[in-house]
Amino acid sequence: MISSDIMRGYNDIILLSLLLNQASYGYELSRQIRERTEGLYSIKETTLYSAFERLLRNGYIVSFFGEESFGKRRTYYRITPEGRAYYFEKCEEWELTKTVISQFVINQRGK
């Protein structure tokens, strides 16, 4: 498992990336993260929902209620154009971060 101090700062990008193609809701997104990383990272519920709050506050996502006739009513999230822009910005920052950190990290298994 990857420590959360390392993931801090990436949760927003991860969520936005999953919302790029379709709107979704908390539980589903959390499951997708666990699956895509093959269990290496699973976001905590509180972390997840506080990330939604932050993204909403910044206008990177909007929320709406689902209309399912069964189960508890879900809150869905949709990415906004601002959210997309922010996501692509952060992707570039990630490329930069990789080169910066690699300067200080020894890769034991060779290049």
Partner DNA sequence: TAAATTTACTACGTTAGGCGGAGTAGTAAT
Partner DNA sequence: ATTACTACTCCGCCTAACGTAGTAAATTTA
The residues binding DNA (CB under 7 A) are: 4-5, 7-12, 25-28, 43-47, 49-51, 54, 70-72, 74-75
Nearer residue to DNA within complex by CB, 27 or 94: 27
Q: Is 32:72 a contact under the CB 8 Å cutoff?
A: no
State whether the Cα torsion 92-59-12-19 is positive or negative.
negative
Among 31, 65, 82, 91, binds a copy of itself (CB under 8 A): 91
- Of 67, 106, 110, 111, the one binding a copy of itself (CB under 8 A) is 106
Q: How far is CA 26 from the centre of its chain?
A: 11
Which residue bears the tokens 């379709």? 22
Shortest Å distance, C-beta 12 to a copy of itself:
9
